[in-house]
Structure formats: C-alpha cells, structure tokens
C-alpha cells in the first residue's frame, strides 16, 4: 500500500524519466542540468560512476576526491561523474526500484538527507549497507549521521554540513547596545527581549523567513531533539509540547515585530541583502548568500541559535539541510566504493581543505575541523575561524525522529501555522493537521 502511495505522489516525475531504466533511449547526456546518463554503474574493475548535481559545489568536491584517491591510493582509478539534478536522482532511483531493474543505477549517488528516508524505507533493496565497510562512522557528527542510519545500519557517508548558524550584523547590534557575546548561548525569551530593543533603536527586524515553509520551526524542534514525528515515524502534531512551544515563540516574534514573514525565497534573501534584518538563522549554507554582500565584509559574525525555554534537553544547536553519499545495489565493486569513500570523504583532511576555498563546502567529518584551512580566520566574518566553529556546532546537534514523509508533513504543519497566525483556533487546527498528515500513512 505504501509503495503504491509513493508511486501516486511521484507519478508525474516518474513518467518524465521512464527511459532512465531498463533499456530506455540512448539520447540522454550529462552536463548542463540534464537528467544524466542511462549507462548506470560501472562494469567493475577500477572505475566508479557517480550521480550528483551542482557544478559549483558537489561536482568539484567529488572530482577532487577522485583525484586524491587516484594520486594516493590507486593510480588506475577512474571516476565518471554524471551531472544529475537532485530531483532527477530521486525520480530515477524511484523508477528503477519500481521496475525491479537496478541495472541503470550508478555505483554511488548523492541524496539530500531528508529525502533519503523515504527511499530507503520503501526500497531498501536499492542501497548497500555500509556498516561493515571499514568506514569509521564514529568520526561523523551524530545528528548528521542519523539521517542515513536505518534500523541501526549505516547506509550513507555524510557530506556537506547543514549545521545551523546565527549570522548577525555586529554594527546593527552595536547600535542597539549589544555585542555578539550578548546573543550567544541564550534562550528564545532573551532573544525576543534583545530583538525588541534592536527594533526600537534601529528599525531592523532580527530575523525573517518564509511563512509557507517553516524552516525556523524545524530548526527549533531539532535543537531540543524533538520533531514532528514519533519514534516509529508516524506524525506527532497533537499534544506535542515542544511543537506548541515553538509555535508560541514564533507567534511572539511576529507579534513583537522582530520576525519578518515573507512568501517567497527571493523575498527572504532580499530581506537580508537589503538590510531589513539584523541577521538570520539557517543552515550554514546561507553564508554564501551573505558573503555576496562584499561591502559588508568584517561586519558579520556567527554564533549559535537560541534554545527553547520550557522543553527538556534543549540546546543551542540544530541542523537544516545537507546531503550524503550512498552506494547503490548495482555497484559491481563494493570494495572499491567502500575504500574510495573511506579514504576521501571519511578519511582525508586534504580533501576538505582543498574544496573549502573553491566551493565553500563544509564537511561533518570531525577531523576536518582540525585542519589549517578550517582553523584559519576569515576576514569577512570579522577574522573569526568560522569553519572549525561550524564543525563543532554539528557535533553538538541532537538527533531527532524523522520520517519517510518528512517534507509532506512539514508542508502540512506550515499550512497549519499560517492558519493559526491568521486567527484560527490552534487546538482544532493541529487536530486537522494531524488528520491531514496521517493521510500519507494509509
């Protein structure tokens, strides 16, 4: 039943890529955001085929890993990288699994962390268990590792770091009489107090975010090890005390005029770049957007996020975004794939140091944080060693429950919160949201 439901949810995307599996047409090609190659994994030997996306980020990272492995481990090694959009990676894997033909899968594929749970839940036969691969998973941040761990088994090697950072304009804080130290290791009550003063003295909001995509609620929940789901992955929206606290905090921030609600991603970015806000809280990947404001170099610093007040086990650390590398069941030489990942993304300081200045890719592999590149002060960020700090934040991030229907339920709760913000009764709205979320599990 669940597999059929997933098919219905993705039927449009599947129709687009049916030729990706089982003897489809030969006119696909890599590059330029195309859907990729139909060739699937390698035939064995010293070659691996990888599907990934983004020629400015993931692709140069995996190519650098291939270069390092060839130079230091196996001079016969070959790596073929097929540029495949994230949505296409997921759709092709879905289509192949539904058809029962895994022959066109690559050896290794990159998948977004919150998407992977859906695919491994329905199609575990599409992926290779890495638990006995020789990879030392203890060197990765536990919160990040949980996304690729299923029933105690490790399926993925974490890559880019989604640790949450709070980025603030120190000059705006200073106008209100505050420093970055005043907003470090605080709770949300203190944050709202500071935000009201900043708004009064500078006219700036403290934060902004999309009202229809509640990233801030998700980050708040994970910071306390809480979520929208029970341990078995079913929705937990009614009687969820941490969720209720997060909604209350969000309402207070909007009411007090310190959180600027927007409708679209572009509006969110503009609220930062047009200096409407004193800062932002998001996955550390948002720093690339901020660094585009070259005239503000030296005026930004990062710190941790506020923690919940009433919820037990609350911390100042969370995660938003990121991806991991997976070995598919079509890989003909798993020993090579295991060794490649173990000695690059799970074992090479040089890899992370080399890709940092060119891609901005920050890893979650703990030892990378000790490297010279990660320890170096960054001029834009007031000469602070932000990269090692972000690795530390990742290591302190709690794990939480997730689900195959993470994005579906997140959309449901985002809609519910919008209704509550416009005056709907919170209790009955969450009861309806629970019913809507449970639809996906039927």
Supply the angle between the helices 241-255 and 406-421 in degrees, to the nearest 10: 50
Contact 413, 214 (CB under 8 A): yes
Give pLDDT tens digits for 192-242.
999 999 999 999 999 999 998 899 999 999 999 999 999 999 999 999 999
Looking at domain 2-161+322-370, its CATH superfamily turns out to be Periplasmic binding protein-like II (3.40.190.10)
Burial zone of 109 (CB within 10 Å; 0-12 exposed, 13-18 middle, 19+ buried): buried
CATH architecture of the domain formed by 164-318+400-441: 3-Layer(aba) Sandwich (3.40)
Residue 216 sits at the vertex; the CA angle it makes with 189 and 294, to the nearest 5 degrees, is 100
Give pLDDT tens digits for 141-167.
888 888 898 888 999 999 988 899 999
pLDDT, average across residues 273-279: 95
pTM of the model: 0.82
Residues of the chain with CATH 3.40.190.10: 2-161+322-370, 164-318+400-441
Phi-psi region of 172 (alpha: psi -120 to 50; beta: other; left: phi over 0): alpha
Could you tell me the pLDDT band of residue 409, with boundaries at 50, 70 and 90? very high
Give pLDDT tens digits for 56-98.
889 999 999 999 999 999 999 999 999 999 889 888 888 888 8
**Any residues with CB less than 8 A from the CB of 222 and at least 6 apart, and which?**
143, 318, 319, 397, 398, 400
Could you give the CA distance from residue 189 to residue 120 in angstroms, rounded to a whole number? Answer: 39
Question: What Cα–Cα distance (Å) separates residue 192 from each residue in 126, 162, 175, 199?
Answer: 47, 25, 17, 10
């Amino acid at each position: 039943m669940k597999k059929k439901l997933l098919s219905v949810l993705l039927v449009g995307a599947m129709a687009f890529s049916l030729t990706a599996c089982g003897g489809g047409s030969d006119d696909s090609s890599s590059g330029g955001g195309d859907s990729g190659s139909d060739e699937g994994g390698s035939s064995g030997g010293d070659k691996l085929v990888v599907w990934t996306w983004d020629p400015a980020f993931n692709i140069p990272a995996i190519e650098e890993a291939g270069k390092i492995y060839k130079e230091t481990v196996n001079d016969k090694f070959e790596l073929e990288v097929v540029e495949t959009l994230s949505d296409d990676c997921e759709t092709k894997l879905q289509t192949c699994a539904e058809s029962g033909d895994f022959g066109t899968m690559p050896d290794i594929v990159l998948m977004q962390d919150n998407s992977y749970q859906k695919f491994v839940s329905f199609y575990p036969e599409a992926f290779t268990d890495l638990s006995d691969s020789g990879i030392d998973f203890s060197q990765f941040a536990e919160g990040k590792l949980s996304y690729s761990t299923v029933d105690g088994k490790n399926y993925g090697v974490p890559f880019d770091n989604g640790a949450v950072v709070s980025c603030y304009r120190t000059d705006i804080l200073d106008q209100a009489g505050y420093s970055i130290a005043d907003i470090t290791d605080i709770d949300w009550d203190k944050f709202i107090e500071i935000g009201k003063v900043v708004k009064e003295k500078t006219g700036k909001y403290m934060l902004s975010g999309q009202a229809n995509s509640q990233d801030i609620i998700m980050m708040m929940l994970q910071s306390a090890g809480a979520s929208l789901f029970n341990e078995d992955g079913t929705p937990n929206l009614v009687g969820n005390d941490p969720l209720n606290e997060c909604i209350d905090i969000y309402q207070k921030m909007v009411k007090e005029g310190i959180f600027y609600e927007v409708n679209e991603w572009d509006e969110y970015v503009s609220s930062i770049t047009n200096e409407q806000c004193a800062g932002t809280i998001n996955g550390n990947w948002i720093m690339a957007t901020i660094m585009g404001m070259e005239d503000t170099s030296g005026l930004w610093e990062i710190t941790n996020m506020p923690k919940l007040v009433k919820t037990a086990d609350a911390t100042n650390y969370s995660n938003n975004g990121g991806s991991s590398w997976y070995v598919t069941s079509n890989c003909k030489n798993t020993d090579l794939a295991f060794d490649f990942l173990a000695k690059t993304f799970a074992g090479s300081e040089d890899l992370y140091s080399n890709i940092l200045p060119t891609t901005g890719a920050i890893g979650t592999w703990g030892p990378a944080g000790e490297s010279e590149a990660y320890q170096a002060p960054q001029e834009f960020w007031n000469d602070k060693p932000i990269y090692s700090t972000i690795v530390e934040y990742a290591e302190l991030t709690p794990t939480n429950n997730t689900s195959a229907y993470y994005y579906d339920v997140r959309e449901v709760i985002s809609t519910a919160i919008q209704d509550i913000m416009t005056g709907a009764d919170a209790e009955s709205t969450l009861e309806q949201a629970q019913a809507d979320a449970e639809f996906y599990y039927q």
